[in-house]
């Protein structure tokens, strides 16, 4: 995956203002940054859900912005996506949620679909929950089902949007181990959007930090953690004071309360 000069505006908000980054095949890249810096938006660009204003976005050597619908669908079949909130289909049980991409994109007989689904659920520890409905799952269980669905088609590229949120420590350890095993045994490429540094260090080889519409740091994980950039240090060390503002841009309180006009 390669991004060059990416610029994106959503309404009045300039989300990206010249983002450049590259993800080599077989790498596990963590993407971090303050809330609202476009981490999920970046994933939406890679999957063609959102078109950029300027620049280039390439996945598997194809320029995503130039693809017609049929070619876009073919590209997406080579990807797996773990959505931020799971995005399970509420009218389907766990088994059918994981089977959905297999039934939509392959001609496998139902007997083989069953084998694949049960193996994927076994990998995330939920084979016994195959006939539960999404409403019967805890938040952590739903996230693990979504992960099983994301890897159902054995994709070459997996995009993880906040994979650790809502998981208990045991489930986190299992998911980290699964992510690491998938990359090592299947040669996958992974992009992981998350905030949990201690978990990311166990699975990612590279780290990208977004802020202010740009990439403010990227490189080997430990190298970025050792950065002397005030912006990077503020975010990675969780400091309240620094160049990254806590408040979303807004008029002064006096202006909102109509007090400035009285002066």
Q: Which domains does the chain have, with CATH numbers?
A: 2-78+155-262 (3.40.50.300), 90-154 (no CATH)
Q: Residue 15: pLDDT band by 50, 70, 90 thresholds?
A: confident
Sheet holding 28-32, edge to edge: 79-82, 157-161, 189-193, 28-32, 206-211, 214-220
How confident is the model over 145-156, as pLDDT tens digits?
988 998 898 898
Q: What is the DSSP letter of 247?
A: S
Q: With a cut of 70, say whether residue 262 has pLDDT above it.
A: no
Predicted confidence band of residue 237 (pLDDT cuts 50, 70, 90): low
pLDDT value for 111: 94
**Positive/negative CA dihedral, 89, 92, 95, 99:** negative
Q: Is the pTM of this model over 0.85?
A: no
pLDDT of amino acid 149: 92
Q: Looking at per-residue confidence, does 65 or 250 come out higher?
A: 65
Return the pLDDT at 103.
94
CA dihedral 196, 183, 31, 166 (to 10 degrees): -40
pLDDT, mean of residues 214-232? 79
Give me the mean pLDDT over the 9-30 stretch. 86
Question: What percent of the chain stands above pLDDT 90?
Answer: 17
3-state secondary structure of 105: helix
Q: Residue 12 pLDDT > 90, yes or no?
A: no
């Amino acid at each position: 995956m390669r991004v060059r000069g990416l610029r994106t505006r959503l309404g009045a908000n300039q989300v990206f203002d010249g983002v450049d980054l590259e993800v080599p095949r077989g790498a596990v890249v963590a993407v971090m940054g303050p809330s609202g810096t476009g981490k999920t938006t970046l994933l939406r660009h890679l999957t063609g859900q959102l078109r950029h204003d300027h620049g280039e976005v390439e996945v598997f050597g194809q320029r995503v912005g130039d693809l017609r619908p049929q070619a876009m669908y073919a590209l997406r079949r080579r990807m797996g996506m773990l959505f931020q909130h799971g995005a399970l289909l509420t009218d389907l049980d766990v088994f059918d949620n994981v089977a959905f991409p297999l039934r939509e994109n392959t001609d496998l007989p139902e007997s083989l679909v069953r084998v694949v689904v049960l193996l994927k659920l076994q990998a995330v520890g939920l084979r016994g929950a195959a006939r539960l409905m999404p409403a019967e799952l805890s938040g952590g269980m739903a996230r693990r089902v979504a992960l099983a669905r994301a890897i159902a088609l054995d994709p070459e590229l997996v995009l993880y949007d906040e994979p650790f949120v809502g998981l208990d420590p045991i489930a986190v350890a299992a998911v980290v181990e699964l992510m690491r095993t998938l990359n090592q045994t299947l040669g996958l490429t992974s992009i992981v959007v998350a905030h949990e540094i201690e978990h990311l260090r166990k699975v990612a080889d590279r780290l990208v930090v977004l802020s202010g519409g740009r990439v403010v740091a990227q490189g080997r994980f430990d190298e970025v953690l050792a950065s002397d950039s005030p912006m990077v240090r503020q975010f990675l060390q969780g400091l309240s004071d620094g160049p990254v503002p806590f408040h979303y841009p807004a008029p002064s309180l006096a202006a909102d309360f109509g007090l400035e006009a009285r002066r």
